[in-house]
Amino acid sequence: MKENAASSRYNYTVLVVCWLGWIAIYLGRSILAPVLPLLSSELGLTYAQVGLIESAYLVGYIVVKVPAGLVANRIGIKRTLVLSMVGYGVSTVLNFGAAGFAHLMVFRFLLGLFQGVHLPLANTLLSERFGERQGRAIGFHESGPNVGNTIAFPLAVTITSALGWRWAFLILGLPAFLLAGVATLVLRDDKKVENGDRPQPGGGGSLRGFTRVLVPMALAHATYNLCLRTLLIFIPSYLVDFRGMSFAAAGFVASAMPAAGIVAKVSSGFLAERAGRRASIVSAIALSGVFILSLVWLPSGPYLTVNLVALGLVLYAYSPVIYASVTSSLPPELKSMGLGAVTMVGNIVGALSTFIIGVLIDGYGYRTALSTIAVLSILASALIFVVMGMDLTNPD
């Protein structure tokens, strides 16, 4: 009994450390969007260049996904996660000295490279430790990005208003180093987590046997990234340039979307258990498209913040369902690689879309750019509905 209680306590310790990891990641990752109006003005950046900077981040985020699992198998998940924390802390702080577009491209790439380690390894660790309860654990864990985002937006605006945008990168990069110290002290140095030898249905040594699980989840994650990556980077500028808000007001209003996502992610596991994975994912994607359309086609007014809250509730609701669907369907030795493959597809779409949407904003304005995202999301929801209906391994 004492051993079971100790194991359970440690499982929740792992959950909290991984959750704090997401917060530290998004404290550093989310600085760019709220400071963008001032940073772009000082450095003379176009929206297309901003899109490329975010694409550089996502390229780094993509290329490390599968190698992260291989490295962790050799040196252990703990050491890999701690090294990544130090890496993304350094990469954030380096932006203090950025002098132009090229510097931001390099620093953003390095940030993505180190931050991309977290998702496949942390979710694999939680899947193995929480077993049948992994949906709820991963749902809570995935609320971390929203907490980090929600905190980062107003903090970045406040620091920038008082000291300048460079200090926002310096100050908000420091928590990563603190977390690396905490993780070093409290995490166990195991190469394999407990219950790693637990048999899983449909086991095997190759991801090819799980294409019916991975393909619809990759499509869903691609749509998620199409919406999320472009909205997170451009919404503050949209509020300033399209809706006429002040810099400070835009930073605070933009935080409404990730703040609502905290509720969405924590509750996602419960909703998926009741409505089914297919219904949860498809309905959330379709509604995301509807709320994005309303951002640019309805007139300005108090509804805008409500719209962003509603968008956050649906947009953030299905990513934990995707991750839990993948990790619960794969054997232990394939979890991190399978999750890395799914998220790699999604982030490739995210890397392309941030640049393309930036070009659309430069050439045709926010209305055309955001409407394009919305229409593609609604069409994708129909496609994913059909593809998931063909997936006999994922019953509703």
pLDDT at 204 > cutoff 70 = no
CB atoms within 10 A of CB 140: 21
- Amino acid type, 355: F
Q: From CA 316, how far away is CA 228, in angstroms rounded?
A: 9
Mean residue pLDDT of the chain comes to 85
Contact call for residues 115 and 138 (beta carbons, < 8 A):
no
Q: What is the pLDDT of residue 5?
A: 60
What integer pLDDT is reported at residue 200 of this predicted model? 40
What's the confidence (pLDDT) of residue 21? 93
Q: Which residues contact 350 (CB under 8 A, 6 or more apart)?
A: 58, 225, 226, 228, 229, 230
| pLDDT (0 to 100) of residue 135 | 67
The token pair that represents 346 in the structure block: 């999604």
CA–CA distance, 29 with 70 (Å, rounded to integer):
25
Q: Tokens for 94, please give them.
A: 């380096």
For the chain, which domains are there?
Answer: 2-191+207-389 (1.20.1250.20)
Mean pLDDT along residues 14-18: 91
pLDDT over 70 (residue 208): yes
pLDDT at 191: 55
Tell me how crowded residue 323 is: count the other CB atoms within 10 A of its CB: 29
Residue 396 scores a pLDDT above 90: no
Is 208 exposed, middle or buried (CB count within 10 Å of its CB: 0-12, 13-18, 19+)?
exposed
pLDDT tens-place string over residues 289-347: 999 999 999 887 778 999 999 999 999 988 888 888 887 788 877 777 787 788 888 88
312 compared with 66, residue with greater pLDDT: 312
Q: Token match 């690689």: residue? A: 337
Residue 355 has pLDDT above 60, yes or no: yes
What pTM does this model have?
0.74
Residues 38, 29: Cα–Cα separation, whole Å = 17
Cα–Cα dist 122/97, whole Å? 31
**In which element (H, E) is residue 18 found?**
helix 2-29
